[in-house]
Chain A
Amino acid sequence: MLKKPSATAKPLWKKAPFKSSYDAVIIGGGLHGLATAYFLARDHGMTNIAVIEKRYIGFGGAGRNTAIVRANQRTQENVPLYKEALELWPVLTRELDFNLMFYNCGNLNLAHSDAALKAMRTNVATARFHGVQSRVVDPKECKELVPALDISERPRYPIFGGMYHPPGGIVRHDAVVWGLAKGATAKGIHIHQGTEVTGIGVSNGKVVSVETDKGKIATNRVLNAAGGYSAALSWNLLGMKLPISVLTIQAMVTQPLKPLLHHVVSSGAYHCYANQTLKGEIATGSHMDPWPNYTTQTTARYIKHQAEALIEMMPCLSGIKFMRTWGGLADMTPDMAPIMDGNHPHEGYYLDCGWGYFGFKSSTVTGKYMAQYMATGQCPEILAPFALRRFQEHRLMGETAALVNYTPDN
């Protein structure tokens, strides 16, 4: 069964010469950018495309998230998108001939109040209405799913029940970056790492070029998929203000252990989620830092909070050790839903940003539809609700029921 793989001998992705003209330029060698590039080639035959990455591919959120995937979002605008994203992992694994290591372990979200159970019912009903498996479970079933949970009355937030979502799980995030880079370059797309975009040329309302520190590129399509830096880029290069606050979000892993958690488990009351990676580490994180911040610095408060929350939820974790914590940037919109838009105010300028901390699970499917958008110039129906103008019209999406807490006024 085990054959020595030969692929190790040749590079996963090719280095490419820097050309002075491309049919499209994608800013950001993260997951959204790479996925869009891949699908432009796969579905639309567009291969004369450059992905420009200031650092190295996967430097930003792509390599800093905790790799959880699921499709039990709150609104009907979101669920179909994430549902298709879940279905894409095996497809892409096959197409890219690269194991993205989708571990379909299912997600358990805990409720610690009647209000939380109510919110879960909305999510469950919305998921099931769209044919996505999800159900409300009682504390006993929570314990059966995750034996490490303390379902007694002892914890400060006793468990009232939960939402179990079997189709979700985790994916190896680095594998997705490398697999997409492999697939995109195999189709002829150029990835330029260590290259910084310094300007976007606009003439008569149309994008005409992208300037970089390696030279100018003539192009009439540019995608801003720069993650945490997308809003700053839009403002600095085009004077276009996006309703995005950037905040640090932190995550951490414990030392690796033999299998302990068989599902992703999360809790809003504790601001805490945890899952066990295939390597055996318990990866855990929580909410963003409560103030805007462009650094990826970690804080003392956060890791202590995480420890406190984890051992209330799962007391056995007291006996294991944190070994690494890191920070990433979350580009948050006022309604915690992304901005996917194009062609206004500048024709040829496309946006795929504001993903906050949902950017990983959505990356591939977004790439598919953003590619369609860029190739045809027409917004795919599934992306229409995510247009920027919803903020001008005060029509926020209902992805989060509760008030969001990341502006300085809170």
Chain B
Amino acid sequence: MNRLNHLDTLKIRPDESVTIEYLGKPFQGAAGDTIATLLYGGGVRIFGRSLKYHRPRGLYSLNGECSNTLMAVDGEPNVRGETTEARNGMVVEPQNVKGDPARDLMGFMDKLSPVLPAGFYYKMFHKPASLWPKAIKGIRKAAGLGKISPHFTMKGSFDEIYLNADVCVIGGGPAGMAAALAASQAGLRVILLESRPWLGGFFDYRPGLYDRGRSLADRVETDPNIRVFTRTSVIGSYTDNLITAFCRGDGSDAFDERYLEIRAKSVVTSTGCIERPLLFAHNERPGVMQISCAHRLIRTWGILPGTSAVFSIGDDLGLEAALDLADLGMEIQCVADVREDGQNEALADRLAEKGIPLFRGWVAAASDGDPKVKRVSLTAINGVRSREFECDLIVAGAGQTPVTGPLTLAGAKQRFDRRTGFFLPVDLPRKMHAAGRMLGYIDPDAIEASGDLAGVKAAADCNGADDSKIREAEERLGDLQGPARGTKFIIGPVKTGKTFICFDEDTTVKNVDQAIAGGFDVPELIKRFTAAGTGPGQGGIPGHNLPLYVGLTGQSPDLDPRPTTVRPPLTPTLIAAYAGSNHDMSKRTPMHEEQVKAGGRMERVGVWHRARRFGDDAAAAAEIENVRNNVGILDASTLGKFRIFGPDVLKALDRVYVGSMSRVKSDRMLYSAMCNEDGCIIDDGVLVKRGENDYYFTTSTGRAGSSAEWIRYHTRYENWDFHIVNLTDAFGVINLAGPNARKTLEKVADADLSNDAFPFMGYREFSIKEIPVRAMRLGFVGELSFELHVASSWMPALWKIIEEAGAEFGIRHFGLEAQNVLRMEKGHLIIGSESEQRTTLHDVGLGFLWHKEKREADTVGAAALRHTENQEGRLKLVGIEAQDPQQTPRDGSIIVDEKIRGYVATARYSRTLEKSVGMALVESELADIGTQLEIFEGEKDDERLAATVVPMPFYDPEGRRLRM
């Protein structure tokens, strides 16, 4: 390993070696290397092939905005080599290439560019039409960077944390650190997020500023008020200062990637700048790299980026880098600077001292060499003179581009500023502040002072500073150098070759011209038409150059360039990282484990796990039979259960229930329903009065979550005095059903359960072995039933008592499938199963529940119920019987003649009745008893099943069994 190990700015640990495998061969680097620096140090120059033209691509940025170094690592595609730390044993492969990207068989694609103009795919492959399906195959194969196997398994550990802070600072450079310190000094809790593994930012690779950066970092890292997250990339920024980010583990952390959500009272964005790519012919050839890339490569990783370099730059950072690289032993042949004047003359003098020519008002026009840079031609910006140089490195930059994503995502606007050449953030959201280089500051003191000011403002947001503090910080900043003049937007006069505005999508300046000629005049449309900025790196490379090119070359109708939209995530983020621990937010009843032990097949029903059946029989025949003949026990704990009370409780109940709530008694259940404004039935359940203005009611499982909201919403303007308590999770429910239900319960209850003492629809409260229960005599499954509501904590005990008591009577579990058949035989409906969204109370035959004498305005849906009461042409719920008992129509089948006339809701072969019966919604003309129906199951196109409309209920029509 040949590194400049003596530099004090190094971030690698040269004596700790790291070995990875690339193209089947081992490569060795040092701890702290990224994959790209490790490979670069090992001599790799070509990292992959571009999407469309298969052009070779090399190390260009190191800032993370460019996709040139996307590689597959351990089967995971599109890993950003330049920012991903190398770890021992990684298996790394290049992408979009067979074998070594230095010799790509698809390289000929580059020659096809004349026939592949912007948006070529809209204009090709569709004539003749038969060409298109074949072309799709080719397009799909060619498209896409990276490959993943459908059987890929993600290794590693992912989780999430949710944090609060007074101030969240995004960016751990000098401005961010100054802001964090200022906020901390005001006694506030600060979170500082930095994407690199270390703090320092703009200072951390520059010889004169490194120590200053380090000492700031030391202060920050030892400040007890500041929690520092390095290796943490901000990905989202949302309303009210919600910041999302992900953190990469350092190898010893308990996680590989961790998702962070931070809610802060105030946010400081100090994300600095990325470099603006210089536009010239073949500006992305391996061997062309950005200034900070070359500079960091040597200062941070100790790697000389090349042997002989030509610089084409546009700001003093370029001059500084050229000098430093020359000092460290690289040959710098010359520096072309797009600026005619305005250079820092001290730097210019030092270049002169070293004998490095500085061409003022010159710029790179083209690179040459295949596949790597061998030559560069420079030209005066007026195009009159040009010169060529042999070199293996072109260090190119067109100035800076501020990173404003965290601000614009949260709603800040951007305005083009002619002095800095930046899209500067304006109209910042409340309690969000910008600081540092992104505002155009370049002077180190000003950068820190700008951070300090933002930190003080953030402190003021948290009442930690007053206006005088802000004024002081403003004055300090005001005394320093203001935002620097930006680099002029210049493209060298180029005759031939490709000038790439977007590397990811191989979009050239010519493509943009083609789009503009095609009528696309706003950057956002040009982006869509040319795909510039829509690739894996999004707008990192073209983010400013595209709108500037469109805006400043007079092509756009706008006076000022308009930026394209930045969208989250600001950094491409693993789906695994977003998913984190991927906790299953579901609920289990107190009887969950018991039921699983008893062979229960659990299924998700909404948020709950419920037992569909016990054992292998999908029809649950034995469970059904046992309820009909003996006694069954069902866990119905998922029912919605509510207490509602207060002086105005009856008004509230009357508002949402169709029935008259003054009829609810203390010893008798009232069955009622809720409708929406269209009279459509949305819920049903029972109510009982437990005290003066104090009621208990149930809802269906699915509505448990929304019932309280529904009542509050429909009473929101009334100022009524009532309260709702959701007891759904607090109470468990046992449904004990079957002819032996009473015998079972009588053994353990301390109450008279005879039919006279506790009749059908009655409500009683008593104890079972000292466990207090609320008991209801209901009959959903059509048998003698007791529904016992009991505190959840008592559920297992009560369940056991009843199971033991029922043993001699043949008690056994039953699940949802058995319940479904039992209640269907009885003609009881389940909302959502026998009703659709459009089904009214009348349609399902429950119109009798509606108490018409209530004032219409008092009941949600009453006006619609009146309107639709005798309306023709609606779907009505009817009973059906299949002509052939062995041919049960499948649920969801349709009822047809020449049109679709209805839907089969639920149909089953009934062992009890020895025929196939069901419920269906049919047009009212077909609803008369005896009507013959044709059913189409959607299997064989010409096959129809025959059925007849029959009366319901099918089972025990007189209702004797539930009144036993």
What residues make up the interface of A, taking CB atoms closer than 8 Å to B?
A: 2-5, 7-15, 56, 58, 63, 75-76, 90, 93-94, 97-99, 101-104, 112-115, 117-122, 124-129, 134-136, 147-148, 156-157, 172, 174-175, 178-179, 254-260, 269, 276, 278-281, 297-300, 303-304, 306-308, 310-312, 314-326, 334-335, 391, 393-398, 400-404, 408-410
Whether the Cβ atoms of A319 and B838 lie closer than 8 Å is: no
Query: CA A315 – CA B148 in complex, angstroms?
Result: 11
Query: CA A378 – CA B899 in complex, angstroms?
Result: 24
- Apart from the given pairs A129-B938, A256-B146, A308-B580, 7 other A-B contacts in the complex at a CB distance below 8 Å: A122-B903, A127-B938, A256-B536, A303-B236, A317-B148, A319-B152, A409-B709
> Of the candidates B145, B894, B900, B936, which one forms a contact with A256 in the assembled complex, judged by CB atoms under 8 Å apart?
B145
- Chain B residues contacting A260 (CB-CB under 8 Å) are 148, 150
29 residue pairs of the A-B complex, CB under 8 angstroms, read: A8-B123, A12-B520, A94-B127, A99-B121, A117-B891, A119-B892, A121-B891, A147-B150, A157-B604, A255-B146, A256-B143, A258-B147, A259-B144, A280-B143, A297-B238, A303-B236, A303-B568, A307-B575, A307-B576, A307-B577, A307-B582, A310-B575, A311-B579, A315-B152, A323-B536, A324-B534, A335-B838, A401-B832, A403-B832
- Chain A residues contacting B890 (CB-CB under 8 Å) are 118, 121
Measured CB to CB, the nearest residue on chain A to B539 is A324
Query: CA A276 – CA B140 in complex, angstroms?
Result: 9
What string of 1s and 0s marks CB contacts (under 8 Å) between B528-552 and chain A? 1101001110100000000000000
Query: CA A257 – CA B145 in complex, angstroms?
Result: 5
Whether the Cβ atoms of A410 and B706 lie closer than 8 Å is: yes
Whether the Cβ atoms of A316 and B153 lie closer than 8 Å is: yes
Residues B426-452 near A (CB distance < 8 A): none
Report A109 CB to chain B, min CB distance, Å: 13
Query: CA A192 – CA B890 in complex, angstroms?
Result: 54
- Chain A residues contacting B239 (CB-CB under 8 Å) are 297
> Of the candidates B122, B238, B867, which one forms a contact with A178 in the assembled complex, judged by CB atoms under 8 Å apart?
B122
What string of 1s and 0s marks CB contacts (under 8 Å) between B914-944 and chain A? 0000000000000000000000111101000
- Chain B residues contacting A325 (CB-CB under 8 Å) are 567-569
Is B118 in contact with chain A by the CB < 8 A criterion? yes
Is B464 in contact with chain A by the CB < 8 A criterion? no
6 nearest CB pairs, A to B = A280-B144, A125-B938, A121-B892, A307-B578, A11-B519, A318-B154
Whether the Cβ atoms of B680 and A148 lie closer than 8 Å is: no
Query: CA A126 – CA B899 in complex, angstroms?
Result: 10
> Of the candidates B567, B714, B840, which one forms a contact with A394 in the assembled complex, judged by CB atoms under 8 Å apart?
B840
- Chain B residues contacting A76 (CB-CB under 8 Å) are 899-900
Whether the Cβ atoms of A316 and B150 lie closer than 8 Å is: yes
> Of the candidates B146, B612, B709, B892, which one forms a contact with A120 in the assembled complex, judged by CB atoms under 8 Å apart?
B892
Measured CB to CB, the nearest residue on chain B to A9 is B517
Which residue of A58, A63, A256 has the most chain B CB atoms within 10 A of its CB atom?
Answer: A256
Query: CA A334 – CA B682 in complex, angstroms?
Result: 14
Report A306 CB to chain B, min CB distance, Å: 8
Whether the Cβ atoms of B936 and A398 lie closer than 8 Å is: no
Whether the Cβ atoms of B680 and A315 lie closer than 8 Å is: no
Whether the Cβ atoms of A128 and B874 lie closer than 8 Å is: no
Residues B846-885 near A (CB distance < 8 A): 864, 867-868, 871, 873-875
- Chain A residues contacting B946 (CB-CB under 8 Å) are none
Measured CB to CB, the nearest residue on chain B to A163 is B938
Whether the Cβ atoms of A316 and B78 lie closer than 8 Å is: no
Which residue of B76, B586, B836, B939 has the most chain A CB atoms within 10 A of its CB atom?
Answer: B836
- Chain B residues contacting A75 (CB-CB under 8 Å) are 900
- Chain A residues contacting B144 (CB-CB under 8 Å) are 256-259, 279-281
Given contacts A254-B575, A259-B140, A300-B238, contact A5 B899 (CB under 8 A): no
What residues make up the interface of B, taking CB atoms closer than 8 Å to A?
A: 51, 75-78, 112, 114-115, 117-127, 129, 132-133, 136, 139-141, 143-154, 236, 238-239, 242, 244, 259, 261, 411, 514, 517-520, 522, 524-525, 528-529, 531, 534-536, 538, 567-569, 572-580, 582, 584, 586, 603-605, 612, 678-680, 682, 706, 709-710, 713-714, 832-833, 836-838, 840, 864, 867-868, 871, 873-875, 890-894, 896, 899-900, 903, 936-939, 941
Measured CB to CB, the nearest residue on chain B to A253 is B534
Given contacts A99-B132, A122-B894, contact A326 B146 (CB under 8 A): no
Whether the Cβ atoms of A396 and B838 lie closer than 8 Å is: yes
Report B308 CB to chain A, min CB distance, Å: 36
Query: CA A90 – CA B133 in complex, angstroms?
Result: 11
- Chain B residues contacting A314 (CB-CB under 8 Å) are 150
Report B874 CB to chain A, min CB distance, Å: 7
Measured CB to CB, the nearest residue on chain B to A409 is B713
Query: CA A14 – CA B521 in complex, angstroms?
Result: 12
Report A154 CB to chain B, min CB distance, Å: 11
Whether the Cβ atoms of B147 and A400 lie closer than 8 Å is: no
> Of the candidates B118, B584, B941, which one forms a contact with A156 in the assembled complex, judged by CB atoms under 8 Å apart?
B584
Report B838 CB to chain A, min CB distance, Å: 4
Whether the Cβ atoms of B154 and A315 lie closer than 8 Å is: yes
Which residue of B114, B568, B833 has the most chain A CB atoms within 10 A of its CB atom?
Answer: B568
Query: CA A324 – CA B405 in complex, angstroms?
Result: 13
Query: CA A319 – CA B119 in complex, angstroms?
Result: 30
Report A214 CB to chain B, min CB distance, Å: 14
Report A24 CB to chain B, min CB distance, Å: 23
Query: CA A324 – CA B129 in complex, angstroms?
Result: 33
Whether the Cβ atoms of B123 and A5 lie closer than 8 Å is: yes
Given contacts A2-B112, A13-B519, A178-B122, contact A258 B535 (CB under 8 A): no
- Chain A residues contacting B868 (CB-CB under 8 Å) are 394
Which residue of A9, A317, A325 has the most chain B CB atoms within 10 A of its CB atom?
Answer: A317
Query: CA A72 – CA B123 in complex, angstroms?
Result: 30
- Chain A residues contacting B259 (CB-CB under 8 Å) are 304
Whether the Cβ atoms of A396 and B568 lie closer than 8 Å is: no
Query: CA A401 – CA B129 in complex, angstroms?
Result: 38
Measured CB to CB, the nearest residue on chain A to B139 is A278
- Chain A residues contacting B896 (CB-CB under 8 Å) are 129
Given contacts A122-B892, A394-B678, A394-B679, contact A324 B538 (CB under 8 A): yes
Report B726 CB to chain A, min CB distance, Å: 15
- Chain A residues contacting B709 (CB-CB under 8 Å) are 409-410
Query: CA A280 – CA B605 in complex, angstroms?
Result: 35
Whether the Cβ atoms of B126 and A93 lie closer than 8 Å is: yes
Report B487 CB to chain A, min CB distance, Å: 28
Query: CA A63 – CA B565 in complex, angstroms?
Result: 13
Whether the Cβ atoms of B871 and A393 lie closer than 8 Å is: yes
Query: CA A38 – CA B567 in complex, angstroms?
Result: 33
- Chain B residues contacting A101 (CB-CB under 8 Å) are 121-122
Measured CB to CB, the nearest residue on chain B to A179 is B122
Query: CA A323 – CA B124 in complex, angstroms?
Result: 28
- Chain B residues contacting A119 (CB-CB under 8 Å) are 892
> Of the candidates B77, B112, B122, B680, which one forms a contact with A320 in the assembled complex, judged by CB atoms under 8 Å apart?
B77
Report B516 CB to chain A, min CB distance, Å: 9
Whether the Cβ atoms of A298 and B568 lie closer than 8 Å is: yes
Whether the Cβ atoms of A321 and B575 lie closer than 8 Å is: yes
> Of the candidates B133, B261, B678, which one forms a contact with A396 in the assembled complex, judged by CB atoms under 8 Å apart?
B678
- Chain B residues contacting A398 (CB-CB under 8 Å) are 836-838, 875
Given contacts A12-B519, A156-B586, A300-B261, contact A318 B140 (CB under 8 A): no
Query: CA A157 – CA B604 in complex, angstroms?
Result: 7
> Of the candidates B706, B832, B891, which one forms a contact with A114 in the assembled complex, judged by CB atoms under 8 Å apart?
B891
Whether the Cβ atoms of A308 and B579 lie closer than 8 Å is: yes
Given contacts A56-B522, A94-B126, A122-B903, contact A318 B586 (CB under 8 A): no
Query: CA A3 – CA B120 in complex, angstroms?
Result: 11
- Chain B residues contacting A322 (CB-CB under 8 Å) are 569, 572-573, 575, 578
Measured CB to CB, the nearest residue on chain B to A136 is B938
Whether the Cβ atoms of A316 and B149 lie closer than 8 Å is: yes
Whether the Cβ atoms of B579 and A318 lie closer than 8 Å is: yes
- Chain A residues contacting B573 (CB-CB under 8 Å) are 321-322
- Chain A residues contacting B864 (CB-CB under 8 Å) are 394
Whether the Cβ atoms of A304 and B891 lie closer than 8 Å is: no
Given contacts A99-B124, A257-B148, A395-B838, contact A113 B578 (CB under 8 A): no
Whether the Cβ atoms of A320 and B148 lie closer than 8 Å is: yes
- Chain B residues contacting A307 (CB-CB under 8 Å) are 575-579, 582
